[in-house]
Structure 1
Amino acid sequence: MTALFAKVLDDAPLLDLFRQTRQRSLSMIEGLEPEDMAVQSMEDASPTKWHLAHTSWFFEEFVLRPCDPAYSSPDERFAFLFNSYYVQAGPRYTRAQRGLVTRPTICDVLAYRAQVDEAVERLVERGAAPADIVELGCHHEMQHQELMLTDLLHVLSHNPLRPAYRKPEPLEVRDTGDLSWLVFEGGILPVGHGEETFAYDCETPRHDQLIRPFEIANRCVTNREWIAFIEDGGYAHAPLWLMDGFATVQREGWRAPAYWWQEDGQWMQFSLRGAQPVDPDAPVSHVSYYEADAYARWAGARLPSEFEWEIASGRVEDGNFHETGRLRPSAAQPGNTMLQMWGDVWEWTASAFLPYPGFQTAEGAVGEYNGKFMVNQFVLRGGSCFTPAAQMRRTYRNFFYPHHRWQMTGLRLARDA
């Protein structure tokens, strides 16, 4: 058993999870052309074709090669092309040049996936597969399913034709209501994953954390509120910003969230459903940590710590995840309870992505999954409208660098009580 999670599924549910996860990736490319899946629009993003191949390589490298002596890869060079950052697994192709790999074709990659699927299913059915690693591979693929959407959005946004990934739909008309604050008393409270269910190593071990009394907003910051920040000169007012943040704003020319522009005096936004007017009451999305931090300061508040967020979140409930098919954040129903904790947008926290007390990495290449990234990044919580629901739990720690905003990232305010 690796240190990546506590308990694995029985063989039958594991096989179902594997099949469902692999099929979801295929359903996500329906309607795409080979040209759509080969493009890399920046170093942080990868082509859709690469995601499909890399998630197959993961099962090949960590399940099939160690456990199936009869397995033979269709091309041993795939290990070089489709390894991402697992140094102990061998050399890797340059990340920034993945869009140059026109061969293998998408047909070749899909055939590769089919061969891997068949081999893994045989192992699971015989009870010969390492169930913990197969389960990890499924959750790893769920992460890449979200990346497939965010990376594709970035690709399509550079096309002057502004093509839609899915058919445009009318925006919901909903008044989300005024923001309200919920008070939490704090204390020395247990945080982190401690249940006998799947979790990544970075969510453990469960431990006590001192949390001072705090207040947290009942919903996410909306586009309407962000427009007020823009109109008040928020992007140009240096005292609101961290030094690195303001330098980034000036260097990149940021004046609004990513994918926003003005047309005939109206704010527009590019989404996977094409170009549409900004929904004023939906959560703001595609903002960096720097922007979120500056907005919170402008609003007379701050970002919550990841532990405040976890305590306030309660149990995982239905939310606007990938399964809703909306593919964009939605306005909340008015109310004074905690809203939008699940789905819609990943919420920036003020917490650096660091190991919990007692954290240990697993041995071997699989141990490189999270631990070596615990520097210079910030934690986000709650999932987004691109996140598969099965991936989410209270303790899930997503993480990105403070300048990143191509992801579906937003914010919720907090303040001291």
Structure 2
Amino acid sequence: MVITDNLLSSLLETRAHSEEICASLQTEDYVVQPIVDVSPPKWHLGHTTWFFEEFILSKYKAGYARFHDNFAYVFNSYYESIGKRVIRTNRGNLSRPTVSEVYEYRDYVTNNLHSLLEEVDNKEIRSLVEIGIHHEKQHQELLLTDIKYILGNNPLLPKYNDTFNENPNIQSSSGYHTMSEDIYEIGYRGDDFCYDNELGVHKVFLEEYSIAKSLVTNKEYLEFIDDNGYGNSLLWHAEAWDWIKNNHIKTPLYWHEIDSKYHQYTLRGLKTLDLNAPVTHISYYEAFAFSQWKGERIPTEFEWEAAQQFFDWGSRWEWTESAYLPYPNYSKAPGALGEYNGKFMVNQKVLRGGSVATPKNHTRPTYRNFFHPQLRWQFNGLRLIKNK
């Protein structure tokens, strides 16, 4: 075999895992798109397949014939330089291609990738396959969060399955860890895979700060709610105040008050709220308001990265106070792949750490996720810094 066994096995494991995530779905679940931010599971399966076909097979496999002429139009996401695409809001209108056709497409592309990797020794192909693997892992996380939104907005609140544990009670530490005033190095310094937005190792000066060793819990957040946190305008940014009023936001997403007791919709169905679990599905707006109520603040992404070895992370994407911006000397990739990260570096907040929906071998201390401040369908949470 020309290409390393590790790369091929990682590719095949990743392709199989996307389908394992969807194994609990009914056919009708594959097409639903309740809001623009949520894509149908069928579209995720097709888009991740198109990525390999578009950027690898069509360019590097001799005599490759595309599975279907229209699939590039259907499954392109935001790559303007590639060509026309179905607009994001219309992904839920795609009753065709059928679910079975999408799975045939996946098999076709996976088999062609397998044969290509056994035939060709090419550094550029290896690099693109690795990007494609991590691109699909990103979509596996989105698959789970989108499936939860689809099922969690079904009036019947159906469960996804009985095995996915989204509320692990893993907070073993309490209190704060104090970081000394110093100059810290930020950014990815290894030789393994990372995204271009992690590159540009640079130094930042940080004042002394004390960061919480554990995430904010449902119990703590419930105290904020009971103290009229959603009714106190002094805690909120102006646009956040408009957002909660216009959208009648009074609790985190998926909370339901039933007979004066809070429940939470989970992928295992509707459950009594676990007070000891980390709060999740809150927007940056809510995270900021809570920090104001608590008399503390949200860490910057640099404070988070400098301190991450002193606390457990990975059960919730953690909001930071940092805007999503390029690091010094950031350079995006040439061509269409340059659209992967750079075009989104405006009007978004950075999240750090990963979550219960993040696939294995996909996150690291320098990983930078990013979302608009009102979004909360991801498994996001909050860690605080104590004010001096």
TM-score interval w.r.t. the shorter chain?
A: over 0.9
The equivalent of 2:219 in structure 1 is 224
Q: How does 1:52-67 map to 2 (within 5 A)?
A: 52-67=45-60
Q: Which runs of 4+ in 1 moved over 3 A?
A: 168-179
Quick one: which of 317, 321, 332 aligns to 1:361?
Answer: 332
* Alignment match of 1:109 (pick from 78, 87, 102): 102
Segments of 5+ residues of structure 1 without an aligned counterpart are 1-8, 315-336
1:415 deviates by 3.1
Whole-Å Cα distance in 2 between the matches of residues 170 and 48 of structure 1? 20
The answer (yes or no) to whether the contact 1:11–1:127 under 8 Å persists in 2 is no
CA distance in 2, matches of 1:170, 1:200: 28
Correspondence 1:42 to 2:15: no
Question: Is the CA contact 2:353–2:363 (under 8 Å) kept in the aligned structure 1?
Answer: yes
Residue deviations 1:103-138 (CA, integer Å, cap 9, x gap): 110100000000100111111112345111100000
Q: Report the equivalent of 2:351.
A: 380
Q: Is the CA contact 1:146–1:387 (under 8 Å) kept in the aligned structure 2?
A: yes
Structure 1 residues 173 and 355, CA gap change in structure 2 (3 angstroms): closer
Distance 1:116 1:410, change over 3 A: same
Q: Deviations over 1:272-306 (max 9, x none)?
A: 11000110010000000000011011101000010
1:32 equivalenced with 2:32 (yes/no): no
What is the RMSD of the two structures over their aligned residues, measured on CA atoms?
1.9
Aligned partner of 2:374 in structure 1 is: 403
* 1:338 partner letter: F
For 2:167 and 2:340, the matched residues in 1 are separated by 39
Inter-partner Cα distance in structure 2 for 1:281 and 1:413: 17
SS where residue 23 of structure 2 aligns?
A: coil
Deviation track 1:352-385 (CA, whole Å, cap 9, x = no partner) reads 0000000011111011000000000000011100
Q: TM-score under structure 2 normalisation?
A: 0.96
Q: Comparing 265-274 with 171-180, which one deviates more in the overlay?
A: 171-180
Question: Gaps spanning 5+ residues in structure 2: where?
Answer: none
Give the Cα separation in 2 of the matches to 1:382 and 1:187.
Answer: 22
> Residue 297 of structure 2: SS of its match in structure 1?
coil
**Which residue of the partner structure matches residue 142 of structure 2?**
147
Superimposed CA distance per residue, residues 259-284 of structure 1 (whole angstroms, 9 cap, x where no aligned partner): 00100111011011100011001000
CA contact (8 A) 1:304 1:415 kept: no
1:178–1:118 distance in 2 versus 1, CA, 3 Å: closer
CA distance in 2, matches of 1:255, 1:154: 18
Q: Distance in 2 between matches of 1:11 and 1:170?
A: 34
Q: Find the counterpart in structure 1 of residue 79 from structure 2.
A: 86
For residue 282 of structure 1, give the secondary structure of its aligned residue in structure 2. coil
Counterpart mapping for 1:338-357 below 5 A: 338-339=311-312, 341=313, 343-357=314-328
Deviation of the 1:311 alpha carbon:
1.0
1:123 aligns with 2:116: yes
Give the equivalent residue in structure 2 for 1:415. Answer: 386
- 1:175/1:196 CA distance change after superposition, 3 Å: closer
Instruction: Give 1:157 shift.
Output: 1.2
**CA displacement at 1:96 relative to structure 2:** 0.3
**Residue among 114, 119, 132 paired with 1:137:** 132
1:387-398 matches, within 5 Å, as 387-398=358-369
Shift of 1:163: 0.6
TM-score, with length taken from structure 1: 0.89
In 2, Cα distance between the equivalents of 1:347 and 1:176?
Answer: 14
**Match of 2:250?**
255
1:191-212 C-alpha deviation (Å, 9 max, x unpaired): 1012111000000111111111
Equivalent position of 2:232 in the other structure = 237
Change (3 A) 1:213 1:93: same
* 1:33 to partner: Cα distance: 1.1
Amino acid at match of 1:383: G
Change in Cα spacing, 1:366 to 1:170, as seen in structure 2 (3 Å) is closer
CA distance in 2, matches of 1:386, 1:210: 33
Deviation at 1:389, TM superposition (A): 2.1
Cα distance, 1:248 vs. partner?
A: 0.5
CA distance in 2, matches of 1:154, 1:131: 35
